[in-house]
Structure 1
């Protein structure tokens, strides 16, 4: 059975360059679900916001039968390219608000940046794929990864394959994909462990600071969990400008 699939928008990022923008054909000799069919082209199901089967809205669980005389055209849309035909037939519930995320082991710097923006980010450098998928499902967290096969796991609802390799570009990409700009609240979380920061008296942390820091700065914050101390040092103005520029990118 020959089935044609047309991937819209950024979904064709997963296809060979020669096949982008065109219907691709898959020969399927047995009954299969649309989820399995889509993923056979390398496109993880959490990236797909809507599907149609012969121009009728369909679900991931929709089955197609291997009948010789039947013609199947499947079309797949990402969130940012939904057409009027499928706008009311989203395959996934709205993302968690406020956003909560879990990141794979390859995205440690992205995790730190997102925490600096105030997002609740779960990250460890020893997460297994199973732990990542289970955490995403159990805690309703958006899973960000550089391993697209991780996103094939059925329990994952909200997930995204991060295309960029530069951490600053990754931040922009993720904020754009999940429309996070309005939720940015910089410098409220510990970049190291994700816990919230609290303002503390200078005297209470003085013994942990260098003399020049004590001389030039008066406002200090401490992580509730790991007790790391923060202050508005020389990097603060640069980071604040970056955060404000990021907020302005909301479209």
Structure 2
């Protein structure tokens, strides 16, 4: 599992937080303007701050990565290169993209009423977030993830 690095992302990086979670990285999305609270959380949980905000440029007490680009694939590439991260296919899709909680594999019978009938009939493996109860399964989003990974690798 991609648990050696933990991140906290400032409010302008919600999309990036979702993608880091897709890749299995523990990524807190801090949707608040309270910089002091973010710094306390980063220190307490040993998280790396990812930001585009210049509020953090001279920060000495926490690790900060200033992202240069507004584009998702460029941001991912910068983080992967700077921290020498590996995208672990076994860690992918292990976290809830909404709340960052680790997912739990769940028998399909337990969630039959919470998913579309065609999905129930076509899929056998389901993961559920124990926190927000969102259900996940393999779908066409795998193609999108593969495309993003390819874009990251092509431009290294």
Asked if Structure 1 and Structure 2 have the same fold, meaning a TM-score greater than 0.5 normalized by the shorter chain, the answer is yes
Matched-pair contact (CA < 8 Å) for 2:21–2:95: yes
> Which of 117, 122, 133 is 2:28 aligned to?
122
Work out whether 1:172 is the aligned partner of 2:77. Answer: yes
Q: How many residues align?
A: 152
Rg bigger for which structure?
1
Deviation at 1:239, TM superposition (A): 1.6
Cα–Cα, structure 1 residues 182 and 217, in superposed 2: closer, same or farther, change >3 Å?
A: closer
CA distance in 2, matches of 1:183, 1:214: 27
Work out whether 1:99 is the aligned partner of 2:5. Answer: yes
Matched-pair contact (CA < 8 Å) for 1:197–1:222: yes
**What is residue 65 of structure 2 aligned with on the other side?**
160
Q: SS where residue 106 of structure 1 aligns?
A: helix
Give me the TM-score of the superposition, normalised by structure 1.
0.55
CA distance in 1, matches of 2:152, 2:105: 24
Matches within 5 A, 1:207-226: 207-226=113-132
Q: SS where residue 12 of structure 2 aligns?
A: coil
Structure that is richer in strand per residue: 1
Deviation at 1:224, TM superposition (A): 2.1
Structure 2 residue ranges without an equivalent (≥5): none
Matches within 5 A, 1:71-82: none
Cα–Cα, structure 1 residues 140 and 151, in superposed 2: closer, same or farther, change >3 Å?
A: farther
> Which of 44, 51, 57 is 1:151 aligned to?
57
Structure that is richer in helix per residue: 2
Give me the TM-score of the superposition, normalised by structure 2.
0.86
Work out whether 1:139 is the aligned partner of 2:45. Answer: yes
Deviation at 1:247, TM superposition (A): 8.4
Cα–Cα, structure 1 residues 168 and 135, in superposed 2: closer, same or farther, change >3 Å?
A: same
CA distance in 1, matches of 2:105, 2:116: 19
Q: Could you say which structure has the greater relative contact order, defined with CA pairs below 8 angstroms and 6 or more residues apart?
A: 2
Cα–Cα, structure 1 residues 183 and 237, in superposed 2: closer, same or farther, change >3 Å?
A: closer
Alpha carbon RMSD of aligned pairs, Å?
A: 2.2
